Amino acid sequence: MSAQGIQHALQADFIRDVRAGLGKSGQKELPSSYLYDEIGAALFEAITLLPEYGLTRADARLLELHAAELARRLPVSLVVAELGSGSGRKTRWILEALAGRRPLDYYPIDISRPALVKCRGELGRIPGVTLIEMEHSYLDGLDAVVAERQSGQSVLFLFLGSTIGNFDQAGAVDFLRQVRARLEPGDALLLGTDLVKPVDQLLAAYNDATGVTAAFNLNILARINRELGGEFALADFEHRAIYNHGKRRIEMHLRSKCRQQARIRDAGLTVRLEEGETIWTESSHKFRLEDVNAMAQGAGFGPTIQWTDEEWPFAESLLMAS
């Protein structure tokens, strides 16, 4: 498909999802993937620097600390593919350790061209690493990577940063199952998961004092205004992040401060909201180690090796395809 064709299809998906999520009665919602246009991605980068948000630093710490062991546990003839193009630093530890054994190809997979360009800027000059961008959805990208593997080569997939926590529970296992279906014995998936921790710590991380997470959340409405001719008055909404104890997840919402309605021209939709009604924009699940193991088993992976961070409970799990 041409670049223009891809843009057109993405716009059609956005309209469909906005209609489905905001046009329904009951809890209104938007898929969290729409938080990440170029502005949203930049705001997320800022979140990762916040003192309250220790997740990304824990992920990076673990990868720096255990990259050499990871390399020892994996076949030498290897290609690496990353779901989401990663924010440079943490992936660098892995690539340097692996390429220290034998040169390798690294495929960042992302639907966003700007994210891939940024990734090339950050990881494009590591000795022994050839970076090949994959402008695809995750599963299409995985298909393309395994189609190019040479005989005798193993594949390491990276799914870092606890992005798996943004899936619903059934969706996470289903997604891992689909990844597993593309792997052969000797291949592996390195999965980052944020672990359960004191609720105060979590609430602070998603309600930061600087208001960056609030801006990140509100940007989803600003994006609808920019891209679909929406008329949301952002000042009439406020960011809410709550912890759902039963589901062990942070939920991000946009709460309407008043009774209001907003037209979205390109979706042919008028959204009506009562005062206090919310639009649910993201879930961020927090895991116990046994949850990660159960997900891995449910998806058909073999033995799992885990490393955890004590300062900010987080786990890196190497799921082997056996």
The site for ligand AVI (CB under 6 A) is made up of: 47, 55, 161-163, 165-166, 206, 213, 282, 284
> For residues 154 and 193, which CB has a smaller minimum distance to ligand AVI in the complex?
193
> For residues 74 and 195, which CB has a smaller minimum distance to ligand AVI in the complex?
195
Taking the complex as a whole, the smallest distance from the CB of residue 33 to ligand AVI amounts, in Å, to: 10
DSSP bridge pairs for 253? 240, 280
Taking the complex as a whole, the smallest distance from the CB of residue 161 to ligand AVI amounts, in Å, to: 5
Taking the complex as a whole, the smallest distance from the CB of residue 93 to ligand AVI amounts, in Å, to: 19
In contact, 92 and 160? CB cutoff 8 Å: no
Taking the complex as a whole, the smallest distance from the CB of residue 208 to ligand AVI amounts, in Å, to: 9
- φ and ψ of 83, to 5 deg: -85, 115
End-to-end CA distance of the chain: 35
> For residues 79 and 239, which CB has a smaller minimum distance to ligand AVI in the complex?
239
Instruction: Tell me the C-alpha distance between 314 and 242, whole Å.
Output: 20
- φ and ψ of 316, to 5 deg: -110, 120
State which residue has the least CB distance to ligand AVI.
284
Q: Do strands 304-309 and 314-320 pair parallel, antiparallel, or not at all (unpaired)?
A: antiparallel
> For residues 109 and 155, which CB has a smaller minimum distance to ligand AVI in the complex?
109
Q: What is the DSSP string of 41-82?
A: HHHHHHHTT-TT--HHHHHHHHHHHHHHHHHHHS-SSEEEEE
Residues in CB range of 89: below 8 A, 6 or more apart: 60, 122
Taking the complex as a whole, the smallest distance from the CB of residue 137 to ligand AVI amounts, in Å, to: 16
> For residues 15 and 212, which CB has a smaller minimum distance to ligand AVI in the complex?
212
Taking the complex as a whole, the smallest distance from the CB of residue 307 to ligand AVI amounts, in Å, to: 18
Taking the complex as a whole, the smallest distance from the CB of residue 201 to ligand AVI amounts, in Å, to: 13
Q: Which two tokens stand for residue 210?
A: 């600087």
In contact, 192 and 48? CB cutoff 8 Å: no
> For residues 79 and 202, which CB has a smaller minimum distance to ligand AVI in the complex?
202
> For residues 154 and 163, which CB has a smaller minimum distance to ligand AVI in the complex?
163
> For residues 28 and 286, which CB has a smaller minimum distance to ligand AVI in the complex?
286
In the chain, beta strands by DSSP E: 28-29, 78-83, 104-110, 129-131, 134-135, 154-159, 188-194, 237-244, 249-256, 260-264, 269-273, 278-285, 304-309, 314-320
Taking the complex as a whole, the smallest distance from the CB of residue 280 to ligand AVI amounts, in Å, to: 13
Q: Give, in order, the Cα–Cα distances in Å from 137 to each of 93, 224, 319.
A: 25, 21, 22
In contact, 302 and 267? CB cutoff 8 Å: no
In contact, 99 and 126? CB cutoff 8 Å: yes
